Structure 1
Amino acid sequence: MKGFHPFGLLAEHAEGGEGRKDAGARFIEYATTMRDKKCRQIFWSHGLKKRVGLEEKKDEELAEEQTDKAD
């Protein structure tokens, strides 16, 4: 099952059939392995922030923009 996205394994499992028997088990293996990893698993695709109108800002810029008022 080389080359499958983890959720592609679930799709294969849902479709069933011979040759796909272990797709569900492989997803469970992936999920349990990745559960405690300290690696970046979700990230922005190249150019996506620009397409949706988001700009990169540094922490200092965000701190200056803060407009919340507290009592």
Structure 2
Amino acid sequence: MQIQCDSVKPKQTRKIKPTRRSVSGTYPFRGETAIPYESTVERDFLIRKEFSLYVLDIIPQPVQIPFTSKK
């Protein structure tokens, strides 16, 4: 059985919790969705992608993306 890539929407696989060892928090992506992040790199990525017209939605990491391969 094959599952098409566009038939399954990727989703967050675990809850991101606050941490004391690194920077964590939530970013109000486009003022609509609170996206959790676990590092300054993730936070900065969210800030940069907020202004991209090509980005429709962001799914917090870690994410599981199903795909099919011919190999």
**Which fold has the larger relative contact order, with Cα–Cα distance below 8 Å and residues 6 or more apart in sequence?**
2
Under a length normalisation based on structure 2, what TM-score does the superposition of the two structures give?
0.28
More strand by share: 2
More helix by share: 1
Under a length normalisation based on structure 1, what TM-score does the superposition of the two structures give?
0.28
